Amino acid sequence: MPKVILHRTIEEILIIAVSIITLATMIPFSVYRFMQGQTYVALFEISGMVAVTFIGYYVWKTRETKIAAIALSSIVLSGLVAINYILGSSMLYWLYPAIVTVYFLNSLKTAFLLSLAVLLGIFPLLLMEKNTIEITSVLTTLLITQIFSHIITFRTAQQHDRLKALADRDGLTGALNRRSLDDRLDILQNLFFRHKRSGGNASSVILFDIDDFKQINDKFGHIEGDQILVRLTDRIQKYIRKTDELYRYGSEEFALIANGANLLKAAELAEKIRELIESAQLSTKTTVTASFGVAEVQNLEKSNRWIERADKALFRAKRAGKNRVFLANAEERTHIYRQLKAN
């Protein structure tokens, strides 16, 4: 039985790390509260630690991060505001690193709203305990922390998106590249492994390449071949669902991930794309066709094995005469129309 490796995302690692750091920070203070006889304050902090521990464990088990990030941020910020009301405004300085952390964990909009809620929540306490100069100083520095956290996070996100686009896209066609495909297949394998009992997260990969592409390049030139690849990518991108993903797998070979599609649904999609390519007039000099291999995700299977099954189906389609669709693990040539009618 192959070993299934679950790769943690940056978001998961951040939430789990923040949960651990929060616990490590709070435990000494809670012990100190008990020693000083501040039992109610210590119990309040312990309840916060229980909540933080639960969130960290929840992310570890489910790998769901969006709601967990909001919950963790809300607990930390509201807890700090409450502690300031209980113990006095001497704990205000903890709000600064908390606001920065919230921006790391959440979207810009969510982080902005949570940070703004902190400013509004702490304002009545400042009115009770501080003079005008002190109130202005605290609010100004908190606001500056929020503004700079917002700007830095926004710029970082922009740069990340630019670098990701350069790293993940094929320079000629604009389709996602081979490295992106490998990463995505690993993720889908992990999702299927985690949710296999519920029967969800079934996906299929459609592998296809242009028939006799070498002859097209040799006869009409590489510029014509490149234009065919660009036109093909454009037509398919406009045809498929937004949830599906197109990758350039090799020179004239492409892979399409049909998210949420079982083998039969993916086969139907592959047949429609085959017809689209055949009738699209991708070149004024020759007819362009493509052959397809389709494979559905399987449990306890490494991603390279998944793509290998699709590749073998594609090879059988080529050997059987090209311009057709074959399914992985099928012993005989698959006739898509007949199979669809039978089902």
Are 246 and 256 in contact by the 8 Å Cβ rule? The answer is yes
Q: In this structure, which amino acid lies at residue 295?
A: A
In a 10 Å sphere around its CB, with 0-12 CB exposed, 13-18 middle and 19+ buried, how is residue 285 labelled? exposed
Rounded to whole angstroms, the Cα distance separating 115 from 70 reads 12
Q: Are the C-beta atoms of 53 and 24 separated by less than 8 Å?
A: no
252 has catalytic annotation: yes
For residues 305-340, one letter each, b for 16 or more C-beta atoms within 10 angstroms of the residue's C-beta and e for the rest, the string is ebbebbbbbbebbbeeeebbbbbbeeeeebebeebe
Q: Which structure tokens are listed for 7?
A: 């790769």
Per annotation, catalytic residue among 252, 253, 268, 271? 252
Strands 290-296 and 325-327, how do they pair?
A: parallel
| Amino acid at the residue 105 | L
Q: Which residues are catalytic?
A: 252
